[in-house]
């Protein structure tokens, strides 16, 4: 189920994925986003993610991947409970907002 009634915007999603401070995805992943140099190699490439997974499956991974794989190092982007020593500026805030999650999911879905 989408988190918001407004459909995700893939262009905004792409920008979030590329953003080192916001999405931070490319710290760990690579993606076909040529302008970002020095992408990480801790995680599978996001290329083809939209072919491998449905929108619902992609959303589940971005919202809280550790519900799928508790060992995973991928942070939960839409969760505030169960965290320790969160720094004051980030307390009680999700890493991404609901609409931002939808934007990211919409972008990932285009990666076929």
Partner 1 sequence: MSVDGWMTGTKTPFEKGGRPRQWAGGFAAFAIAMTGIAAHAQPSDPRKSGTEYLSPATRALQSNDAENPAMLWVKAGEALFNEKPGADRKSCADCHTATVRPLKGIAAGYPRFSIAANRPLNLSMQINLCRQQHQKAATLQHESRELVSLETYVAHQSRGQPIAPWRDARMSQAFINGERHFKTRIGALDLSCADCHDRQAGKQLAGNVIPQAHPTAYPLYRLEWQGVGTLSRRIRNCMSGVRAEPFAHASAEMIELETYLASRAAGMTLETPGVRP
- Element containing residue 47 per DSSP (H, E): none
Number of neighbouring beta carbons within 10 Å of residue 59: 22
Nearer to partner 1, 7 or 32 (CB): 32
Q: Which of 18, 28, 36, 55 binds ligand HEC (CB under 6 A)?
A: 28
Q: Which residue has the tokens 């879905």?
A: 109
Closest distance to ligand HEC from the beta carbon of 92 (Å): 19
Closest distance to partner 1 from the beta carbon of 79 (Å): 8
Quote the CA–CA distance of 45 and 17 in Å, as a whole number: 12
Nearer to ligand HEC, 42 or 88 (CB): 42
Distance, C-alpha 65 to centroid of its chain: 9
| Contact indicator for 8, 104 with CB cutoff of 8 Å | yes
Q: Which of 1, 5, 35, 84 binds partner 1 (CB under 8 A)?
A: 84
Q: Which of 17, 33, 63, 109 binds ligand HEC (CB under 6 A)?
A: 17
Q: Which residue has the tokens 């505030």?
A: 80
- 49 touches ligand HEC by CB under 6 A: yes
Quote the CA–CA distance of 65 and 62 in Å, as a whole number: 6
Interacting residues toward partner 1 by CB under 8 A = 20-21, 24, 26-28, 37-42, 66, 73, 75-76, 83-90, 93, 95
């Amino acid at each position: 189920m989408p988190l918001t009634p407004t459909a995700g915007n893939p262009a905004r999603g792409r920008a979030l994925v590329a953003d080192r401070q916001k999405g931070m995805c490319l710290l760990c992943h690579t993606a076909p986003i040529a302008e970002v140099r020095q992408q990480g190699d801790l995680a599978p490439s996001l290329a083809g993610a939209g072919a491998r997974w449905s929108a619902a499956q992609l959303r589940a991974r971005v919202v809280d991947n550790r519900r799928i794989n508790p060992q995973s190092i991928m942070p939960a982007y839409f969760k505030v409970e169960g965290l320790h020593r969160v720094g004051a500026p980030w307390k009680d805030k999700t890493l991404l907002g609901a609409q931002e999650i939808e934007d990211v999911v919409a972008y990932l879905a285009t990666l076929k």
